[in-house]
Amino acid sequence: MNLISKNRFIFLLLLLLLPFSFAFSGNQQFTPARVVSIADGDTIHVLFNGKNERVRMIGVNTPEIAHPELGIKEQPYGQAAQKYTTSALKGRKVFLEFDVEKRDKYGRLLAYVWLEKPASTREPEVRKKMFNAILLQNGYAQVMTVPPNVKYADLFVKLQREARNQNKGLWGITEKTGTSRVSSPTVSKKSYLGNSNSRKFHYPSCKWAQKISPSHRVWFNSREQAIKAGYDPCKVCRP
């Protein structure tokens, strides 16, 4: 085999092996963990790398359950979201996928929680196997985008829109009766609109709130919820 033929052979061999190398490296991003307990709909405790860790699911926000010691009141659908997460995850082996920022300021792991290791991270697999997405699809959570962890942000907005249009979960309740449909969080006078880019929250009527791009909008049901999520009040509308 002459030098040219040998180089061609090596080149073709590398081309054949390239997809396998990508597949191998992709598998490394999903780290197994065992769910020990459930804090609320979007926060779980897991056994991860031999340690007990608190995991906050990226990109989603479920209604709050009551924490009197923190001054946090029960929100509609909070208990339902917690029970749903408990029934789906408690005691189960899951796979954690991390984004750019691995921990928040509270020391919690920030992760996408997969029910099983996916064949890819394309939309069909996300819909079927990622629990963050499943919460959105079933109306147990709203989108909460916090840069730089935005890998699935556009898809999450799409899933939320679908759930809202179908009146699923929290999109089919009202503050008064708990049974009628709400078309959007904006109907409640107690709602606040956050900007995931500036990390500020506003009254929906604030001129700055109305300038927030759809991809950066994050709705909160209370002032306490916005502050807990790490947002600061707007200095113009003073929510």
Residues 6 or more apart in contact with residue 67 via CB below 8 angstroms: none
**3-class DSSP assignment, residue 104:** coil
Q: For residues 18 and 230, what is the distance between their CA atoms, to the nearest angstrom?
A: 42
Least confident residue range of 106-110, 139-143, 186-190, 202-206: 186-190
Q: Are 218 and 196 in contact (CB under 8 A)?
A: yes
Least confident residue range of 68-77, 95-104, 153-162: 68-77
Residue 108 annotated in active site: yes
Number of residues that this document lists for the chain: 239
| Sole residue written with tokens 């092996």 | 17
DSSP character string of 28-67: TTEEEEEEEEEEETTEEEEEETTEEEEEEETTEEPPPPPB
Given the residues 53, 56, 97, 164, the one annotated as active site:
56
Given the residues 53, 64, 97, 164, the one annotated as active site:
64
> What's the pLDDT score for residue 28?
53
Give the pLDDT mean for 195-223: 83
182 vs 61, higher pLDDT? 61
Given the residues 92, 103, 108, 199, the one annotated as active site:
108
Long-range contacts of 160-169 (CB under 8 A, 24+ apart): 160/136, 162/137, 163/136, 163/137, 163/138, 163/139, 164/139, 166/139, 167/139, 168/137, 168/138, 168/139, 169/77, 169/80, 169/81, 169/138, 169/139, 169/140
> What's the pLDDT score for residue 188?
40
Q: Could you count the other beta carbons within 10 Å of the beta carbon of residue 3?
A: 7
**Residue-range domains of the chain with CATH:** 30-180 (2.40.50.90), 184-239 (3.40.10.10)
pLDDT over 70 (residue 174): no
Question: Could you tell me whether strands 200-202 and 142-143 are parallel, antiparallel, or unpaired per DSSP bridges?
Answer: unpaired
Residue 223 annotated in active site: no
> What's the pLDDT score for residue 73?
64
Residue 56 annotated in active site: yes
